[in-house]
Structure 1
Amino acid sequence: MFFVIAARRYPSYLVIMKKRMEFYFYQGMVALDVTGPLDVFNAADELLSRNGKEQEGYELIFSASEIGLVPTLSGLNFYADALPGMQEVDTLLVPGGMVAETASTDPANVLAIRRAARRAKRIVSVCSGAFLLAAAGILDGRKATTHWLVTDRLAELYPDIHLEPDAIYVQDGSVATSAGVTAGIDLALAMVEDDYGPALAIEVARLLLLYRKRPGNQSQFSAMLDLQAKASKRFKPLIDWLETHLDQKLTVDQLAEKAHMSPRTFARIFRSETGMSPGRFIEQLRIDRARELLESGAEGLELVARESGFGREERLRRAFQRRLGISPAQYRAHFKTGE
């Protein structure tokens, strides 16, 4: 398939106030890492134009180490009509893909990104595009995130990066990184808000039927699913039982009995297979349950606290602040219709 994405051009007599957004292309990138943020910026342009602000919004630039067609993982071909770093830009955006780590070892890509980054006010990666920023030295000493599937590999290759593996997106100064493909849309909405205010971000979210804003430190995925994938079959009956008993008082002795082990043996094997203590495990499952209740519109934080097993609203609030960085009330507000 052939899909042309071309930069917008404007008459020279206009004073361009649009923010220049440079997308860097490389072979094998994920198309949605480009088109997701692209549609957010395009929707912002459309809404600004309707309000008589045609000279605000975004000017899109598509670059690559060589001008021409760039094939994506899905078979779509994008067209890069610019070389990186040839003009000042507000944002450099690097998409991800299954080949991102390999692409990051190509000197042409690394040189191109370094050149473009020197002329960019803001540098952004989507998903595993963080590998390319890391290879260019842009993430050294910074907080960052990437897709959960490649977090360990990124940490292994670049130990100087302060990874936040659960985050949807992370902003550290002028550099921002995001998790899996749809997280690039969340980050693009955050950029629209930074650039033109929350009112426009809300309208863009409504137009595209998106959440107005997911907090950047919201977990990338359900802890329940992750723990079930990590735990061996021996703990599956226990996890299934816990799902229906989170509102009860739970102890290590009780869990060990359910698993037919001594408490000491259970605690040791459980930690080795899940990477966390039984107490932390239970708290994470309760946070997941509370999130589900809040997202579904449950009213009353005391009720949410009881049904998720925290018992009291104060314990629920402390757990959310500690693990998610926001309060339950703030979390619920993000998922209300129209927010």
Structure 2
Amino acid sequence: MAQHIKVHILLAPNPLMLDFAGPAEVLRRANKIQSEIIFDVQYIAPRDEMMTSAGLKVSGLSKLPNQLQPNCFLMVSGTTKDILGDLPSPSAAQRTADNEKIVEWLRATFTAKQTLLTICSGALLAARAGLFDGYRCTTHHDCLEELRSISPQIKIEENRLFTEDRNRFASAGITSGTDLMLHIVGKKLGIAAAAEIAKHMVVYARRNGDAPQLSPWLQGRSHLHPTIHRIQDLIAADPTKDWDVGSLAKHAHMSARHFSRLFNNQTGLSVPDYVNGLRIAIAENALRAEQINIEHLVGDLGFGSSRHFRRAWQKHHQLSPTQWRQSQQV
């Protein structure tokens, strides 16, 4: 029987369409490709209809519920004052009233039993409700100063696509909301599923939240060669396996020399660098999550030795694994 996860998407006044449409499409596709976990999406708002940034009115929105289910997701979208074209939009007084209602509702309703996701300026509403006090958080670069003025207890991170701190996630907004939702889906369904969704959505790159750079899971994925994509999917499904050029070339039905040259030309990476990049991404997640023994991690990830692991690690980080883990806990 499938596990159902409720996802409440909260639309604030004049919501930015990309802020909520991109993440919602990730969830729609996630439900389509598998049946183990079903994301039940509900759109909620202080009013039953909202005019979006693109001038498209959305209606039939549910009221803000009196309580939230345990283990559900609450995603707060970003907003704008500008509406495309000359279509009427709520007055400044109406927007202020709606925002105040949302802040009061967030303060009274959200608990440690739920997971918060904010997109773009949605972080400002959550911050005003006190939900980011003591937590790492980011928002769109245009909103950073306002976020900083709300509370000195917020651990603001600039120049980040998204942040993750316990049950609080925040994204810089617009397209990075899609990156954040791919990250969430990857945590629930696995990285291969997230990669498949990104590929279907023709997302240029599934990016990592820690820096404005390509995620190892989608790095080298902007090419159009179906065989190389198939091999990358194969590796991503089990990065710790002892992959080598010869075995992968057999899966590709090519000679090792031709496959190696083609892989490098299409992805811009050698096979070992591609495989090790995925393993280092797993190592980063493990080091963030717990005080794991690094020597045990080496074996679990398929590295032949600590020296091999550290050589691969140094291609991605200046700090040692121990120093890097300490830097993530600041």
User: Which amino acid is 2:119 matched to?
Assistant: V
- Is 1:24 matched with 2:10? yes
Alignment correspondent of 2:54:
74
Alignment correspondent of 2:30:
44
**Rounded Cα–Cα distance in structure 2 between residues aligned with 1:81 and 1:142:** 29
The SS at the match of 1:108 is: helix
User: Which amino acid is 2:173 matched to?
Assistant: G
User: Which amino acid is 1:46 matched to?
Assistant: K
User: Which amino acid is 2:161 matched to?
Assistant: I
**Rounded Cα–Cα distance in structure 2 between residues aligned with 1:23 and 1:114:** 17
Alignment correspondent of 1:171:
164
**Rounded Cα–Cα distance in structure 1 between residues aligned with 2:145 and 2:165:** 20
- Retained in 2: the 8 A contact 1:97–1:129? yes
Alignment correspondent of 1:118:
111
Q: After superposition, give the CA deviation of every residue in 1:185-235 in whole Å (9 maximum; x if it has no partner).
A: 0000011011121121121111111256311112389xxxxxxxxxxxxxx
User: In the alignment, which of 75, 89, 108 is matched to residue 93 of structure 1?
Assistant: 75
User: Which amino acid is 1:65 matched to?
Assistant: P
RMSD, aligned α-carbons: 3.5
Number of aligned positions between the proteins: 219
Alignment correspondent of 1:65:
46
Following TM superposition, by how much is the alpha carbon of 1:118 offset from its aligned partner in structure 2, in angstroms?
A: 2.9
Alignment correspondent of 2:151:
158
Q: After superposition, give the CA deviation of every residue in 1:29-87 in whole Å (9 maximum; x if it has no partner).
A: 20111101000000001111xxxx2x632101111123x11111221222312323444
**Rounded Cα–Cα distance in structure 2 between residues aligned with 1:61 and 1:119:** 20
* 1:322-337 pair list within 5 angstroms: none
Following TM superposition, by how much is the alpha carbon of 1:125 offset from its aligned partner in structure 2, in angstroms?
A: 0.2
The SS at the match of 2:121 is: helix
- Retained in 2: the 8 A contact 1:65–1:112? no
**Rounded Cα–Cα distance in structure 1 between residues aligned with 2:97 and 2:315:** 40
Judging changes above 3 Å, is the alpha-carbon distance between structure 1 residues 160 and 296 closer, same or farther for their aligned structure 2 residues? farther
- Retained in 1: the 8 A contact 2:112–2:167? no
**Rounded Cα–Cα distance in structure 1 between residues aligned with 2:11 and 2:120:** 14
- Retained in 2: the 8 A contact 1:170–1:176? yes
User: Which amino acid is 1:151 matched to?
Assistant: L
User: Which amino acid is 2:46 matched to?
Assistant: S
**Rounded Cα–Cα distance in structure 2 between residues aligned with 1:321 and 1:182:** 29
The SS at the match of 2:50 is: strand
**Rounded Cα–Cα distance in structure 1 between residues aligned with 2:67 and 2:196:** 33
Judging changes above 3 Å, is the alpha-carbon distance between structure 1 residues 179 and 220 closer, same or farther for their aligned structure 2 residues? farther
* 1:72-221 pair list within 5 angstroms: 72-79=52-59, 80-88=61-69, 90-99=72-81, 106-118=99-111, 121-211=114-204, 213-219=206-212
Alignment correspondent of 1:251:
none
**Rounded Cα–Cα distance in structure 1 between residues aligned with 2:133 and 2:213:** 23
- Retained in 2: the 8 A contact 1:167–1:216? yes
* 1:315-326 pair list within 5 angstroms: 317=314, 320-321=317-318
**Rounded Cα–Cα distance in structure 2 between residues aligned with 1:118 and 1:57:** 22
Judging changes above 3 Å, is the alpha-carbon distance between structure 1 residues 141 and 103 closer, same or farther for their aligned structure 2 residues? farther
User: Which amino acid is 1:165 matched to?
Assistant: E
**Which structure 2 segments of 5+ residues have no match?**
83-91, 215-265, 274-310, 325-330
**Which structure 1 segments of 5+ residues have no match?**
1-14, 222-294, 302-313, 328-339
- Is 1:297 matched with 2:278? no
Following TM superposition, by how much is the alpha carbon of 1:321 offset from its aligned partner in structure 2, in angstroms?
A: 4.1
TM-score, normalised by the number of residues in structure 2: 0.58
- Retained in 2: the 8 A contact 1:147–1:178? yes
The SS at the match of 1:189 is: helix
- Retained in 2: the 8 A contact 1:85–1:118? no
The SS at the match of 2:72 is: strand
Identity of aligned residues (%): 25
